[in-house]
Structure 1
Amino acid sequence: MPLNAIPPVFVLAAYLIGSLSFAVIVSRAMKMADPRSYGSGNPGATNVLRSGRKKAAILTLLGDALKGVLIVALAKVAGLADPWLAAVAVAVTVGHMWPIFFRFQGGKGVATAAGVLLTLDWRLGLAVMAVWLLVAFSTRISSLAAILAAVAAPIACYLLLPARPAVFGAVLLIAALLVQRHKQNLLNLLSGTEGRIGQKAKTDGGEA
């Protein structure tokens, strides 16, 4: 394969790996209901937790995060330049949100984005995860934690990686997508109807 063909292959692979929805895969393997059929309808770890199956939620969280870790780590090992590395980071997140294998009905990208950020730069990943943990533990509202962590991500990237504009652009785009995917959550927060972490499945509300 010509060397100039390798970066686009990585971007395509990132989208396909991102399209592996572990919420659905784990639920099927454990003979659970499709996570898109209860709670917020979001195929993500928080909504899977609403089923009461903590093990399934943990496996979903790990699987979705490792997607981002795996492909970004491989891209770094392959020596991809920052513009292509940024494209890979965005592609795996987009794949999670709009997976080709699951009729483009994906999750909101929080765990996958966390894996991406942690692998792009561990300081960036830990800073954003610290924001999520602080908000999540103090409010027990996953979506609020995700939104505030998304807002913090480009700020942290700008401060920690000032000489990497392509990476900053990718982080900014990922953050914007995360906030957009939480639009209904924002409305629920304003109306006081947003669900909390660990709350049993119901038909209203949305999750991260």
Structure 2
Amino acid sequence: MIANNCTNIHFFSVTILSYIIGSIPFAVLTSIFLGLEDPRNFGSKNPGATNMLRTGNKIAAIITLLGDMIKGFIAIKITTIIYGINCPKLMGLSIVFVVLGHMYPVFANFRGGKGIATFFGILSAINPLSSVFYAISWIIISYIWKYSSMSSIVTVVIAITYYFIDYKTGNTDREILISIMVVGILLIYKHKKNIKKLINGTENSINF
């Protein structure tokens, strides 16, 4: 392990690797493989699992969801395996840049998704047990109110609150909390149009 030697080259390598992993456009690749329309051309124009579900192809939506989650999970795990857990700044960089890669992917003309599935993957890598709670929260909220965007925003706020409490009780590093908060702000920002639609009562609902 080289966890205690957090040098500039380590910061650079984690940043680039996490961004590249995040840039893999699973929604676009799945559409090509299954002969579906590019998700950036219909519905919300968001290359994510929810918009893929609008094609009526649940398999495509599931593949996209799992792929986007795996990106977040793998980026964090690779950072942990290579650099250990004693340099939280590297972990924080990985968290932020894998999400930025998903939102602005170099492999898809910088037209990416909103990052919720990738965020769940990150949380699963950091704390598998708590991630189950977030997933259940998302499902319950979605089932009751039928809005994916509302479920996502509320779950992000829950996650930020959890890590803030965890930090205050000494169970989470400051760098991890800051990165979770930064990503949370980015995620909510990417949902700004959805928030306006929710307020106006014009948001698209989802059916299970």
Normalized against structure 2, the TM-score is what?
A: 0.90
Task: Give the drift of 1:6.
Answer: 3.2
8 Å contact kept, 1:128–1:156? no
- 2:99 is matched with 93
- 1:169 is matched with 178
Structural mapping, 1:55-66, within 5 Å: 55-66=59-70
- 2:203 is matched with 194
In the alignment, the residues of structure 1 paired with residue 46 and residue 40 of structure 2 have an alpha-carbon distance, to the nearest angstrom, of 5
In the alignment, the residues of structure 2 paired with residue 119 and residue 159 of structure 1 have an alpha-carbon distance, to the nearest angstrom, of 19
Q: 1:196 to 1:185 in 2, by over 3 A?
A: same
**Partner AA of 2:96 in structure 1:** V
Structural mapping, 1:1-208, within 5 Å: 4=7, 5-78=9-82, 79=84, 81-162=87-168, 163=170, 164-198=173-207
In the alignment, the residues of structure 1 paired with residue 193 and residue 113 of structure 2 have an alpha-carbon distance, to the nearest angstrom, of 13
**Partner AA of 1:99 in structure 2:** P
Task: Give the drift of 1:112.
Answer: 0.3
In the alignment, the residues of structure 1 paired with residue 68 and residue 192 of structure 2 have an alpha-carbon distance, to the nearest angstrom, of 21
**Partner AA of 2:201 in structure 1:** G
3-state SS, counterpart of residue 195 of structure 1: coil
Higher relative CO (CA 8 A, sep ≥ 6), structure 1 or 2? 1
In the alignment, the residues of structure 1 paired with residue 72 and residue 150 of structure 2 have an alpha-carbon distance, to the nearest angstrom, of 22
In the alignment, the residues of structure 1 paired with residue 206 and residue 152 of structure 2 have an alpha-carbon distance, to the nearest angstrom, of 12
3-state SS, counterpart of residue 39 of structure 1: coil
Per mean C-alpha deviation after superposition, the further-off stretch among 141-150 and 75-84 is 75-84
Task: Give the drift of 1:124.
Answer: 3.6
**Partner AA of 1:48 in structure 2:** M
Task: Give the drift of 1:59.
Answer: 0.2
**Partner AA of 2:144 in structure 1:** S
Task: Give the drift of 1:132.
Answer: 1.3
In the alignment, the residues of structure 1 paired with residue 96 and residue 207 of structure 2 have an alpha-carbon distance, to the nearest angstrom, of 29
**Partner AA of 1:70 in structure 2:** I
Percent pairwise identity: 33
Task: Give the drift of 1:126.
Answer: 2.7
Aligned length: 198
